[in-house]
Amino acid sequence: MTVNTDYDIIIIGTGAGGGTLAHRLAPTGKKILILERGSFLPREKANWNAKEVYQKERYHTDEMWYNLGGKSFRPGVGYWVGGNTKVYGAALLRMREQDFDTVAHHEGVSSAWPLKYRDFESYYTEAEKLYNVHGLQGEDPTEPPMSEGYPHPPVSHEPRMQDMSDGFRQQGLHPFHLPLGIKLDEVNPEFSPCIRCNTCDGFPCLVHAKADADVNAVRPAQQHNNVTLITQAKVVRLHTSASGREVTGVETEIEGQSQLFTSDTVVVSCGAINSALLLLRSASDQHPDGLANRSNQVGRNLMKHLATAILALSTKPNPAVYQKTIAINDFYWGEPDFPYPMGQIQNTGNVLGDMIPAETPAVLAPLVKLVPGFGLEQIASHSTGWWLQSEDLPDPDNRVRVMDDKVCLEYKPNNTKAHDRLVQRWIKVLETNDHSMQPFIIPMGIYPRNSIPLQAVGHQCGTCRLGEDPITSVLDLNCRTHDVDNLYVVDGSFFPSNSGVNPTLTIIANALRVADHLQDRMK
Ligand SMILES: Cc1cc2nc3c(=O)[nH]c(=O)nc-3n(C[C@H](O)[C@H](O)[C@H](O)COP(=O)(O)OP(=O)(O)OC[C@H]3O[C@@H](n4cnc5c(N)ncnc54)[C@H](O)[C@@H]3O)c2cc1C
């Protein structure tokens, strides 16, 4: 095995966590090696082709994972420079202030974070700048205190979306502009990198106008001579010293060859599931249950949100080109007769004809029957997509395991009543909007619901949670493993509970926070 010894720090993975960390550390002049199992995502017309992206899953891994019953499935994740941010919807929200405290839910409790919102506030502000977030402060009734407004103005609603937003407001709700990380200049559209197209959420951005970790973090980091990125470099195992207290080697497969890299500090940023897998697969005599797993917590408390996509069909066309602009948090903490968190509502990206067979196979046939003469394209052009997400609670039995070298996800949804209530509540709101706004709406609004299956692990987090107690947590407050002095995990793994908002801005803010600690450590 070739041995390469020249680095101060090795970062494994280039997603929201690893990519951001590399960006922040690059100007330090320290010798940084980034190892990424994927390559740069190809720029090709297929980036924006719904059939390729949704039906053929062109950018997903072809790995197979296994569920609790031993059934295989293909996970909805991709391995690229930039990780899953290459295809994310770029909805970048801060966690609410109370999300950091213990929260009573209908079916249990979500644990308090040992860090508080105030520990993250300045990093959220920086994260919003680094990832070009557009939004409007003061609209969202659950918004946490912000020391600065959003760095960019909100992404405007197109007329049909504005109608809907006005309708929600007439119902007493407080719709707000969804905070989005895109490079859009609506004042000077001729100079705007973002062209407000209909293939954003779920698609790679062909014109590199989505603020993803590849374009916003990794590429700028590479401008520094002290940063080396090796792509198609899959890390398979971490080696430790005889005491087990230090990582001494990062074993990596590159073009079929094993190579060993060494550095003073090693950061695992493979995404919550793959980071846990790497630690579990690095078991040794000193760490028989997996590296840094004295607590037996590695891989446990996997969370991924309870999510439902609703396709709301109307007789009125929806010509809006970029539809993902509205969000609603009025039910985030519940409602008068249900004082428990229910979750958040936001638009999905546009509903496109070629997405429907992939996204809603079970409801497609009855849908087409109910609306005679409507083909896929007509359904799509008269639809609006809504994404409803609720917090799933940390459960040690929801976990990632390696069995006979197979990847197993054991995950049973919990807190489902709160989520179901959100779905039913939202359907009522949509029906009221349709009737009040449009006399020609189909009298029985049709809202096929598609509960998100196991393979949808886009919002994966947990698995290596942080905490002060090494018995119940894997990482200390700086995301260093309790058991191994020079080993850090910096991605979605650290979440002790996952709140009801999209995870990525918190992953980015945390990476900036840990980077400051690492800079001090490397001085
Ligand atoms: C379709 C979709 C839409 C989404 N929309 C949103 C949204 O609107 N808002 C939001 O907040 N979040 C969204 N997400 C979630 C978001 O993408 C993730 O929260 C975020 O990417 C997680 O960051 P991470 O650093 O934890 O992991 P990742 O971004 O997954 O990065 C992990 C990296 O590690 C690499 N890697 C893995 N294993 C190894 C190994 N063994 N060796 C070397 N490299 C390795 C991977 O290739 C990847 O580059 C979405 C996700 C999907 C799939």
pLDDT digits (tens, 9 = 90+) for 386-415: 999 999 999 999 999 999 889 999 999 999
pLDDT at 365: 57
DSSP label of 226? T
Instruction: Give the residue, by CA position, lying nearest to ligand 1 atom 3.
Output: 88
pLDDT exceeds 50 at position 267:
yes
Query: Which residues 6+ apart lie within 8 Å of 369 measured at CB?
Result: none
Q: Which two tokens stand for residue 218?
A: 């990794």
pLDDT at 436: 41
Alpha carbon of residue 371 to chain centroid:
35
What's the rounded Cα separation, in Å, for the pair 293 and 439? 61
Asked if residue 22 has its Cβ within 6 Å of ligand 1, the reply is: no
pLDDT at 370: 58
**Which atom of ligand 1 is the closest one to the Cα of 234?**
42
Long-range (24+ apart) CB contacts under 8 A made by 469-475 are 470/294, 470/295, 471/295, 472/295, 472/297, 473/295, 473/297, 474/292, 474/293, 474/295, 474/297, 474/298
Asked if residue 13 has its Cβ within 6 Å of ligand 1, the reply is: yes
Q: pLDDT grade, residue 5 (50/70/90)?
A: confident
What's the rounded Cα separation, in Å, for the pair 114 and 373? 56
Instruction: Give the residue, by CA position, lying nearest to ligand 1 atom 50.
Output: 88
Query: pLDDT tens digits for 315-324?
Result: 888 999 999 9
Q: Which of 323-327, 356-360, 377-381 has the lowest mean pLDDT?
A: 356-360
Decide if the complex's ipTM is over 0.95. Answer: yes
Q: Which residue has the tokens 């992939």?
A: 358
What's the rounded Cα separation, in Å, for the pair 391 and 22? 30
pLDDT exceeds 80 at position 357:
no
Measure 210 CA to ligand 1 centroid, in angstroms: 14
The fourth-level CATH superfamily of domain 2-64+78-522 is FAD/NAD(P)-binding domain (3.50.50.60)
Measure 20 CA to ligand 1 centroid, in angstroms: 12
Instruction: Give the residue, by CA position, lying nearest to ligand 1 atom 53.
Output: 458
pLDDT exceeds 80 at position 244:
yes
Measure 357 CA to ligand 1 centroid, in angstroms: 25
Query: pLDDT tens digits for 208-222?
Result: 999 999 999 999 999
